[in-house]
Structure 1
Amino acid sequence: DSFDRGEDKMLVSARLEKKSPEEIAGYYTEAFMHDARMVNIRPAREYPRATAYIPQMIEIIAKLIERGHAYEVGGTVYFDIASFPAYGRLSRNTTDQLLSGTRGEVDPRKRHPGDFTLWKAAGEHRLQVWPSPWGPGFPGWHIECSAMSMSLLGDRFDIHTGGSDNVFPHHEAEIAQSEGVTGHQVVGCWVHGEHLMLSGTRMSKSAGNFFRITELVEQGFDPLAFRYLTLQAKYRTKLNFSPEAMSGADHALRQLRDRVAEWSAAPDGPRGDIDERFRAALADDLDLPGAMALVSELIRSDLAPGAKARLLIEWDRVLGLDLARAPEHGALPDGAAVLLTTRERARAAKDFATADRLRSELAAMGVAVTDTPDGQRWEVRRL
């Protein structure tokens, strides 16, 4: 395994591309930030880099040795999982069932195959090496997160997130490290998300089956259509990506914005209990598919159009779909929104004569209306 040889993916990439690890990290960090902005992910207060927390990692490792949770052999420090009876609690493993917390061949100097690396003695020609009480080396993959999280959030915080593949060994090891050094529970709740799939296979850079949001935009999709797509699945379930699903999400998002623009000038009215139900869905383990089902229910409901528009804009503070954005085909002229709402009601009442008359009035204002199975569609055209 590359870790046992003193390498990791970033260092391998740096060597192949003849760049420094900092250059590789900087490129992907900027790419992530750029795409995150495109899908309305709010920036975090901190974006810590592991290399800035080496002293804190060394301090934690030294305390773990002092408290009998870790041992050093030949310049490498391992966590002794037998010293932490709760190890395996998160992943529902027992000590006897656990495989090595590191990858590759098991170091015969370990007390137990599941003991994982806290500090690794540096091999020759390694790009990143730091001095330590145990000799030159570099931190294990798990100790970094204990050091960064407790440095920034303290030794008790509410929620820790990650992908489902982080449960074991990464988060299991992080619990052992953090609780081993503090003597108490550090994280109140662990939340793990599932993966985005492509043709039944998990998307990943290493597999080469991944895309960036910028690539979707180049194909003509609204970047927030991807966000709309992800809202259709529970965070704890896999989501399969396909061009067809993306096209459907893009179409649905544009329709939703059209409705908000159409209804925004209409009078407000009673809201019933749908807003309370929307909030309840969010409180129920972040049930976003349930919340999106209520969006569809709201659109089909008999609530006043103005009430629908205002609710959707309020809900968009969570959904993040820019529903108040003016449609790309142009903003409605004054008075057109009221006529569109009146026409929709006329069609629902099967008053087709009135609907046809209003279509003509709207056309004279430069608004072309088309009836579809999903309701009327409109587009602003130059007169």
Structure 2
Amino acid sequence: MKVYNTLTRKKEELVPIREGEISMYVCGPTVYNFFHIGNARPLVVFDTMRKYLEYRGYKVKYVQNFTDVDDKIINRAKEEGITAPEVSEKYIKEYFNDTAALNVRKADVHPKVSEHIPEIIAFVQSLIDKGYAYEADGDVYFSTRKFPEYGKLSGQNIDDLEAGARIAIGEVKEDPLDFALWKARKEESEIAWESPWGMGRPGWHIECSTMAKKHLGDTIDLHAGGQDLQFPHHENEIAQSECCNGVPFAHYWMHNAYITMDRTKMSKSKGNFFTVRDIRKNYSGEEIRFFLLSGQYRSPIDFSEDLMKQARASLERMKNCKENLKFLAEQGAEGDMTEEEKAALAGYDTYRQKFIKVMDDDLNTADGISAVFELITAINTAVKGGATKAFALASEKTLMEFCDILGLLQQEEEAGIDPEIQALVDERQEARKAKNFARADEIRDMLKAQGITLKDTPQGVQIIKE
């Protein structure tokens, strides 16, 4: 597999540190609100990356943090009249509600900043001891100029950065480019911990470096997140981690592009965003996931009602194929597959190889989805006149082989048919036997109005919910 490595600005073969294993760290949310559709893209993209790596035979250790100590959380706590920990716990719970709907699997570890304060303090102290950081009035700052490679991830030039840098009111750092590792408490009501520099709390950037080190080691295979994190967050992570540990922090960096609205980056600060919770009022989590995977992850996607409707229609076609195969697996012919079915099943490998080829090429989910639809066309053609149960089961297994990786068709429809609906279906069958076609058509139209299509097949009536 090749991935576009932001660090080198080219596609590189993914070669793990330990054969057959991948260590993967993905920056998670600051938990003070529901996350928006732009925040959802890295969650879905790198969840898919993890699933694909597992499909290719790797053992993946996947870590995604929660930033539960932050100014935004403190401000939200004041607004809601509750404590900062209560705010973060509330929105962590809501996070899992939304990610479950998106079929995002939980990470192997979801570390929280508040649970890693001793490790963060030790990390900061190590940087001070090595001469890369300094304390000033209870704050601790990283000396950016002492890391000669600063800017290597984002391509920033330190002289250009200096020209635009300013020291904010209240900051006592020695250089405008220095950034905070530890912040002294400003008010008694602020959440804070005892440290060698007085009561305070961690800066944002030090948190991920510390949690990655604890759960994955000094050097990790793959670090990922949204492109907005390249600078300064990921740049600062590299600086402090490599100065502390003396080894490369991450071999590969992957960054997804923005979700835009009217070609403008979506962000909470601009107010031009929709939360996943809002979108779920009109679209399912799987439809949102399909939309997020419908473009290659490094290309921006413009969020629109039209694209969401297209995602719904495409997903419906996938569902119909799966439901048809389930019906044939129950109602199809007994016995071994026919020779034609064996040939069709062998032909599916063409689509498997195409899927692997495009996914190996920097996780091209857009072309991966196209390969799935080519498979669906082949399946629909093969079962048009009916099928053996064995062939239907084998076809469904192949379809789900791809869909499991993409995280699609994971949510089963409610089992069973409403007894009143089933009674109408049975009545229609009796009317057809009695050649009362007017009544049979009337029942068909009644069910159609309720979003239920009846398909007459050699194996019996197939009930399709729209």
Measured against the shorter chain, the TM-score band is 0.7 to 0.9
Contact 2:98 2:277 in 1 (8 A): yes
Match of 1:317 among 404, 409, 413: 404
Q: Tell me the SS of whatever aligns to 1:270.
A: helix
Q: Which residue of 2 aligns with 1:257?
A: 319
Q: Which residue of 1 aligns with 2:71?
A: 8
Q: Tell me the SS of whatever aligns to 2:201.
A: strand
Distance 2:157 2:97 in 1: 42
Contact 2:162 2:176 in 1 (8 A): yes
Query: How many angstroms does 1:107 deviate by?
Result: 6.8
Match of 1:137 among 191, 194, 200: 200
Q: Tell me the SS of whatever aligns to 1:117.
A: strand
Structure 1 segment 194-205 matched on structure 2, within 5 A: 194-205=257-268
Match of 1:299 among 376, 396, 415: 376
Match of 1:120 among 170, 173, 183: 183
Structure 1 segment 1-383 matched on structure 2, within 5 A: 8-99=71-162, 105=168, 109-219=172-282, 221-263=283-325, 265=328, 267=341, 269-271=345-347, 272-301=349-378, 304-305=382-383, 306=392, 309-322=396-409, 325=412, 368-369=454-455, 380=463
109 and 25 in structure 1: CA distance in 2 versus 1, 3 angstrom threshold:
closer
Structure 1: unaligned runs, 5 residues or longer: 1-5, 334-359, 371-377
- Worse overlay, 271-280 or 12-21: 271-280
Deviations 1:167-218 (A, max 9, x none): 1111111111111111111212111122222333433444444444444343
Q: Tell me the SS of whatever aligns to 1:246.
A: helix
Deviations 1:72-123 (A, max 9, x none): 2222211111211111110111221225999862777433211111112222
Distance 1:198 1:328 in 2: 38
Contact 1:101 1:115 in 2 (8 A): no
178 and 102 in structure 1: CA distance in 2 versus 1, 3 angstrom threshold:
farther
Q: Which residue of 2 aligns with 1:337?
A: none
Distance 1:130 1:39 in 2: 36
Distance 1:7 1:30 in 2: 18
Contact 1:72 1:134 in 2 (8 A): yes
Distance 1:205 1:73 in 2: 32
Query: How many angstroms does 1:257 deviate by?
Result: 1.1
**What amino acid is aligned across from residue 18 of structure 1 in structure 2?**
G
Q: Tell me the SS of whatever aligns to 1:273.
A: helix
Distance 1:191 1:249 in 2: 25
Distance 2:96 2:404 in 1: 20
Aligned alpha-carbon RMSD (Å) = 3.2
Distance 1:130 1:217 in 2: 38
Distance 2:319 2:91 in 1: 32
Distance 2:70 2:103 in 1: 35
Distance 1:100 1:26 in 2: 40
Identity of aligned residues (%): 33
Distance 1:51 1:108 in 2: 24
63 and 14 in structure 1: CA distance in 2 versus 1, 3 angstrom threshold:
same
Distance 1:157 1:236 in 2: 22
- Worse overlay, 17-26 or 102-111: 102-111
Deviations 1:246-274 (A, max 9, x none): 12211221121112222453745222422
- State the aligned residue count: 338
- Worse overlay, 162-171 or 273-282: 273-282
Distance 1:325 1:261 in 2: 10
Q: Tell me the SS of whatever aligns to 1:190.
A: strand
Contact 1:260 1:323 in 2 (8 A): no
Distance 1:253 1:112 in 2: 53
Distance 1:27 1:104 in 2: 35
Query: How many angstroms does 1:240 deviate by?
Result: 1.7
Structure with the bigger RCO (C-alpha within 8 Å, sep 6+) is 2
Contact 1:161 1:191 in 2 (8 A): yes
**What amino acid is aligned across from residue 402 of structure 2 in structure 1?**
W
104 and 30 in structure 1: CA distance in 2 versus 1, 3 angstrom threshold:
farther
238 and 63 in structure 1: CA distance in 2 versus 1, 3 angstrom threshold:
same
- Worse overlay, 64-73 or 102-111: 102-111
379 and 104 in structure 1: CA distance in 2 versus 1, 3 angstrom threshold:
farther
80 and 193 in structure 1: CA distance in 2 versus 1, 3 angstrom threshold:
same
Distance 2:150 2:211 in 1: 21
Deviations 1:130-160 (A, max 9, x none): 2211222221111111111111111121111
